[in-house]
Amino acid sequence: MALSESQVPPDAQHYLVCGTGDCEKNCQFYCNDCHLPMCEQCRDEHQKNKKTKNHEVVPYKLRKRQLPVEKCNIHPTRQIEFLCEECQIPICPKCATTKEHHGHVFTDLEVVFAEKCSFCQEEIAKIRNYFEPTSQDLKNEIAEDVTKMKKIMEGIRAAMKAEAESVKKLVDTVISDKIEQVDKVEQSLLKTLNGQNQTIDDYINYLSDLVRTFYGYLSPSDIKNLTFALKSENLIMIKPIPETSKPVPPVFTAGQHSKEDVTKLLGRISVPNTKPETRKIKPMETVSTQLKPTGKQRKQDREYSDMKQTLSLPSSVTKVREYTVPGVGSVYHISLGKSGRLWVSDCFGHLVQTDLQGNQLQKIQTSAGFGYHTVTQDGDLIYTYKDIKVINRITPDNTITEFIKTGDWGPLSIHSSHINGDVLVGMRKDGEPSKVTRYNKTGTEIQNIQRDNKGQGLYSTPYYITENINGDVCVSDYIKHAVVVVDKSGQHRFSYTGKGSKFDPYGICTDVLGHILVCDDISNTVHLLDQDGQFLSLLLTPQQGVKYPISVCVDDENNLSVGQYIITTVTVYKYLQ
């Protein structure tokens, strides 16, 4: 049994089925009089029926919402159907006949309800198209300011450390000079003291010699010499002790320096007394004007409109060609490059470039994965290397360089935007909900998409990722059994959970009409959705020769390339005509 519209959660979406009888075909239309969703066949029968041929049947998106059933407080057996313009209260038909409302003007409450719903939709559109993106722009600007401020403060810290090192070197130089001066004073003092010491040594030697002389005079055998020596004129006088002086040592007077002196010596940091500049918020009128297409955009819109009118989904798909890719064990992911070349990877980390005839042009070994490579607008291949948490770039001349470091996050999937060249990366980290990070062309992080508006994690394993023509980010998450779609501001739009009881999505892509194409590992089919997540059809099934579809990619000629598990061929189909 299909869910009624009121039972479907606002942040999720399942495919809608026809509500007439037992018909379970896809809903495309809506009868505003019967308030019934209808498929195309039931719409035709409804308009042929004499009783309902004048009913207003419109495309589902243009439907009028059904007035909720509510009983009248005064007449409990009646439903409220009108709004009394005079009293501004809802009333039932019986109330309209009472004297309290005599002569008053009544409006169909369903019309009022439709107007209120329309107002809410307009407000939602304003929030989605202006307030949320503008707020996100402010968040991005603040994030840039945070990065800028961190760089400035780090520069100030580096300058202060450099100045301190310079002062330290000057102090070391001055101290070295002063120590050298102390050394010279010490040498001079020691020289003087050594001289005095030598003088005393000489005097002591003189005294020793004199003692020996006097001992010689005491000999009994030499009385004549003693008599001679004792004569007054010959008497030896002892020389006085040489005069010496104590050295006067230098005195060190320590410098008197306070913390304030050092603070004054070094540079200082000051916050300018300037009023902070208020961040500019684009007025809604300006945004509305900017949202108006330019001449170039109008031309592109006309071309897109013409394409939408000329392209349509046929009743069946047609196989265009099929070729074997050498060097891989299966085709887990396909990235289309320029000049008819493409990159194909398997589950063993083999990444092969081939031409449309299946000739191998080059092969590199990677850390494996699922949707882990993509081709940029410039024709470069970028691929994740989850083991070392980097994203590499390969230029057309086969030069491999490191493009982005993802820190603690392991990059799983990647997609280069065909709208503005941004790089979308699905990443996972233990203990954290997985996320999608947006980088610009130069590899600067500009956005993180991780949680819905209730704070719940959006992703579990974002193994495949792509972008739709309206800027929606579409992630294939087989652990959540869903295709999770957010708008370009990161707000959750819907989650498609398949057509059957279980759904394991893998490869995903979009086309020029905004269709979402996704492989289902359970039913071995390729589902086709519109850009609002409504199921349109099973585009490819095992009955059409597709056994294990796991990767999909649409080229510039609107051909669909399909890769399969355990099969090394790429099959190309024409599905838009």
The ranges assigned to domains in the chain are 10-62, 113-244, 302-574
Tell me the Cα Rg of the chain: 46
Max mean pLDDT among 209-218, 260-269, 337-346, 477-486 falls in 477-486
Mean confidence (pLDDT) of the chain: 85
Residue-level pLDDT at 5: 43
Report the DSSP beta bridge partners of residue 483. 476, 496
Which residues have C-beta within 8 Å of that of residue 357, sequence separation ≥ 6? Answer: 323
- Alpha carbon 390 to its chain centroid, in Å, reads 13
Q: Taking Cα atoms as reference points, which of 469, 489, 415, 468 lies closest to residue 300?
A: 469
Q: Which amino acid is at 529?
A: L
Q: What angle do CA 193, 195, 197 make, to 5 degrees?
A: 70
What single string gives the DSSP state of each residue in 119-169? HHHHHHHHIIIIIHHHHHHHHHHHHHHHHHHHHHHHHHHHHHHHHHHHHHH
Residue-level pLDDT at 420: 86
CA separation for the pair 104, 436 (Å, rounded): 57
CA separation for the pair 537, 263 (Å, rounded): 76
CA separation for the pair 200, 473 (Å, rounded): 102
CA separation for the pair 332, 371 (Å, rounded): 7
CA separation for the pair 329, 350 (Å, rounded): 8
Q: Which fold has domain 10-62?
A: Double Stranded RNA Binding Domain (3.30.160)
Q: Is the pLDDT assigned to residue 361 strictly greater than 80?
A: yes
Q: What is the spatial order of strands in the sheet that 535-540 belongs to? A: 505-510, 516-520, 525-529, 535-540
Q: Is the pLDDT assigned to residue 375 strictly greater than 90?
A: yes
Q: How many CB atoms lie within 10 A of CB 194?
A: 10
Q: What is the mean pLDDT of residues 354-371?
A: 88
Question: Which tokens go with 163?
Answer: 């100045």
Q: What is the mean pLDDT of residues 159-180?
A: 90
Q: What is the mean pLDDT of residues 155-183?
A: 90
Contact 317, 575 (CB under 8 A): yes
Q: Is the pLDDT assigned to residue 219 strictly greater than 90?
A: no
- Residue 351 vs residue 347, higher pLDDT: 351
Residue-level pLDDT at 15: 55
**With bands split at pLDDT 50, 70 and 90, how would you rate the model's confidence at 225?**
low
CA separation for the pair 179, 184 (Å, rounded): 9
Q: What is the mean pLDDT of residues 131-149?
A: 89
- pLDDT tens-digit readout, 401-443: 999 999 999 999 999 998 889 999 999 998 899 999 999 988 9
- pLDDT tens-digit readout, 315-331: 678 899 898 999 998 99
Residue-level pLDDT at 272: 79
Q: Of the CATH numbers 3.30.70.660, 2.120.10.30, 3.50.50.60, 3.40.50.360, which one belongs to the domain with range 302-574?
A: 2.120.10.30
